[in-house]
Structure 1
Amino acid sequence: MPKPFPAEFRRDVVAAARQSDQSIAAIARSFGVSESCLSRWLRIADQEDGIATDATTAPPSKTGTDLEAENRELRRRAKQLEQENEILRRATAYFARDVLPK
């Protein structure tokens, strides 16, 4: 397991990322950390500072109509997938009949 970075180093990297106009990838490369690690540090720092920047920190609640619409969409998609599976089953049987010995 890799040794964790010191808290002071993390604070410095997060501060540099917030103040810089460079991409997260460029900043992560310059400090020698992975891009995902820096993203996680930024997300944790935002939560500690009370900044909600994306949907993962504060998921919206769904209303009844949203859930009903989602259910309709999921049922429609399930029906479509069942039809596609039936077509593939029939195509497999059609092509398999030429291969099977008589």
Structure 2
Amino acid sequence: MARPSQYSAEFRSDAIALWRASAGRRTFRDVAADLNVNPETLRTWVRDAHDRPAVSGTSQDTEAELARLRAENARLAKAEKEWQLEREILRRAAAYFAREMK
């Protein structure tokens, strides 16, 4: 049975973000030394994060982006309903005037 982790999920995600932000300028060993963790532990966290997209524990930036996209989606859905209504009104008006012209 695996022992419980001494590092929180937030610490892990921050460590992964720090390593990714270095954009290859720093090694696992350098970043791990700054965080006082084993380099292989950091390497495992990064590999696991790459293999499995994060579902829970999303960052605040991701949450903000998700909220923005949901609001935009709602706005676009409302606009689409309005356009469909306008199109239906115009279709009926065109049919009415076509009958009047006969």
Structure 2 length-normalised TM: 0.45
Higher relative contact order (CA 8 A, sep 6+): 2
Q: Which has the larger radius of gyration?
A: 2
Structure 1 length-normalised TM: 0.45
